[in-house]
Amino acid sequence: MHPWRAGFNRNVPHCSRKVDARRAHLKFAGDEKYIPGIFFSWSDRDFSKDTREQALWNEHAAFIDQLVDDGFILMGGPLVDEGGSLLIINAEDENEARDTLKNDPWMQHGILKLESIKRWQIFIDERK
């Protein structure tokens, strides 16, 4: 067992049981594959308008809705304090992520710019 699987505070061994009891309903998902987190920044956004008032909103929303229906996007939305947005996706690798997202109308027209792709291993998943 990984040292920090026993509890959140690995430096205080006597708290492990209490911490584990509070999160007994959680399932560890340590064997899950890495899921890319895609970070976007606003490149050519009109900040005088709401997100849904941006150019090509309907086309972007239809594209994203299809990716959700296909199981490619698991979660996503705007970053409230930083601007831009974050997607958690189901892709085999970075190439698949980039190839799929390059067809987003907001990417094609420079409204969003892909900043980075970070691999994330799901360790705890409340949904399971």
Q: Give residue limits of the domains in the chain.
A: 1-26, 32-125
Distance CA 70, CA 120 (A): 20
**Which top CATH class is 32-125?**
alpha beta
Q: What share of the chain is helix, strand, coil (3-state, %, to 5)?
A: 30, 25, 40
pTM for the whole thing?
A: 0.67
- At 16-66, the pLDDT tens digits run 444 444 445 544 444 445 567 778 788 887 888 888 898 999 999 999 999
Measure Cα distances from 26 to 22, 40, 91 in Å: 9, 30, 24
